[in-house]
C-alpha cells in the first residue's frame, strides 16, 4: 500500500515546524513540491530548505510539478475553484500513480496548516473517492498564518467566551463584518477589503509575509492605519512581485 503524508510546514518560518512534522519528513521517500511560477520561487525554495535542514537521511527524492492556476477571466469564483481543484486532482493523481512505488511514502508539504484554506485533503479524498488508486493518508497539523499573526502582534484572536470568524477578503466585501462575531480574521484578500468597512469601530492587526525575513506588521485603529497599510502593502507587492497578508479585525469597546 502507498502512503501519503500531508505535512503542515507552518506559515513562513522553518522554526514553525513541529516535532511531529519533522518525524513525518523523515518518514517520507518522495516529496511532491508544487511550483506556481517565478513569483512563488521563494515558497518552493523554503520547502527545499526545510527538507535539507530537517531530514537526516539525504536519500529522498523531490518531485516538482507545475501547479495549475485558477482561471481569472471573469468566470464565477466557485466554478473557477472547482475547475482548479479538478486540474490539481489530475496532477496529484499522476504524481501518486507514477512517482511513488507500492510500499513507499510520499509527502505534500502544505503551507501553514492543511485544514485552513488549502485543498490538499479535499483533493486526496476525491482521488480515493474515484476508486482508481488505493493509498492511505495522514494529516500533520502546522502553525497557520492566523496563529503566527496573533503571536507576532501578541494579541488573542477572541474576546473571552466570544466567537472569532475566519473569512476571506471577498466575503468581507460582499457581506461586511461578520454579524455574529466580535473578531474576524481575514485571509486571501487581494483587494484591500478592510478599506470598504464603513461605520465600523475596529482595530486591525495586519501582517504580510509573517514569519519570513520580509515580514511587515502594522496595528492600530482601522481608520487611523488603513491608508498606511494600503501604501505599505502596495510597495511590498511591487518589490516582491506577490504578497500574502492576513489581518485580525476586532470590535473596539468590547469588554474582555
Ligand X SMILES: C[S@@+](CC[C@H](N)C(=O)[O-])C[C@H]1O[C@@H](n2cnc3c(N)ncnc32)[C@H](O)[C@@H]1O
Residue closer to ligand X, measured from CB, 100 or 210:
210
Collect all residues with Cβ–Cβ distance below 8 Å to 166 and sequence separation of at least 6.
116, 146, 184, 185, 187
137-166 positions binding ligand X, by CB under 6 A? 144-145
Number of neighbouring beta carbons within 10 Å of residue 94 = 11
Q: Which is nearer to ligand X, 23 or 70 (CB)?
A: 70
Exposure string for 172-181, b = 16+ CB within 10 A, e = fewer: bbeeebbeeb
Instruction: Specify the stretch interacting with ligand X by CB under 6 A; choose among 24-32, 61-69, 83-91, 116-124.
Output: 116-124
- List binders of ligand X among 41-70 (CB under 6 A): none
Assign 62 to helix, strand or coil. strand
Which backbone phi and psi does 129 adopt, to 5 degrees? -60, -30
How many Cβ atoms sit within 10 Å of the Cβ of residue 45? 11
To ligand X, the closest distance from the beta carbon of 231 in angstroms equals: 18
Among 5, 12, 33, 222, binds ligand X (CB under 6 A): 12
Q: What residue is closest to ligand X based on CB?
A: 112
In the list 62, 63, 173, 188, the residue contacting ligand X (rule: CB under 6 A) is 188
If one asks whether residue 209 binds ligand X (CB under 6 A), the answer comes out as yes
84 binds ligand X per the rule CB under 6 A: no
Q: Which is nearer to ligand X, 46 or 100 (CB)?
A: 46
At 3, is the secondary structure helix, strand, or coil?
A: strand
Number of residues written out for the chain = 256
Number of residues binding to ligand X, judged by CB under 6 A: 20
> How many angstroms separate the Cα of 30 from the Cα of each of 15, 38, 99, 100, 244?
22, 23, 8, 7, 28
Q: Which residues bind ligand X (CB under 6 A)?
A: 11-12, 111-113, 116-118, 144-145, 187-188, 207-211, 244-246
Amino acid at each position: 500500500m502507498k502512503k501519503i503524508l500531508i505535512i503542515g510546514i507552518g506559515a513562513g518560518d522553518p522554526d514553525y515546524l513541529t516535532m511531529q512534522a519533522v518525524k513525518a519528513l523523515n518518514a517520507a521517500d518522495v516529496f511532491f513540491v508544487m511550483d506556481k511560477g517565478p513569483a512563488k520561487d521563494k515558497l518552493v525554495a523554503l520547502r527545499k530548505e526545510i527538507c535539507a535542514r530537517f531530514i537526516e537521511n539525504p536519500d529522498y527524492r523531490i518531485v516538482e510539478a507545475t501547479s495549475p492556476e485558477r482561471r481569472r477571466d471573469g468566470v464565477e469564483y466557485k466554478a473557477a475553484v472547482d475547475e482548479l481543484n479538478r486540474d490539481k486532482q489530475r496532477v496529484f493523481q499522476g504524481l501518486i500513480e507514477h512517482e511513488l512505488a507500492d510500499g513507499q511514502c510520499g509527502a505534500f508539504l502544505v503551507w501553514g496548516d492543511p485544514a485552513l484554506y488549502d485543498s490538499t485533503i479535499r483533493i486526496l479524498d476525491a482521488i480515493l473517492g474515484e476508486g482508481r488508486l488505493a493509498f492511505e493518508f495522514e494529516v500533520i497539523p502546522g502553525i497557520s498564518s492566523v496563529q503566527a499573526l496573533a503571536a507576532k502582534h501578541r494579541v488573542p484572536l477572541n474576546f473571552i467566551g466570544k466567537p472569532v470568524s475566519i473569512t476571506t477578503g471577498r466575503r468581507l466585501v460582499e457581506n461586511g463584518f461578520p454579524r455574529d462575531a466580535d473578531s474576524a480574521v481575514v485571509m486571501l484578500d487581494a483587494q484591500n477589503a478592510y478599506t470598504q468597512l464603513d461605520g465600523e469601530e475596529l482595530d486591525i492587526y495586519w501582517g504580510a509575509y509573517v514569519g519570513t525575513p520580509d515580514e511587515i506588521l502594522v496595528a492600530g485603529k482601522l481608520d487611523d492605519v488603513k491608508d498606511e497599510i494600503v501604501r505599505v502593502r502596495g510597495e511590498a507587492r511591487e518589490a516582491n512581485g506577490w504578497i500574502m497578508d492576513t489581518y485580525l479585525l476586532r470590535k473596539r469597546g468590547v469588554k474582555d
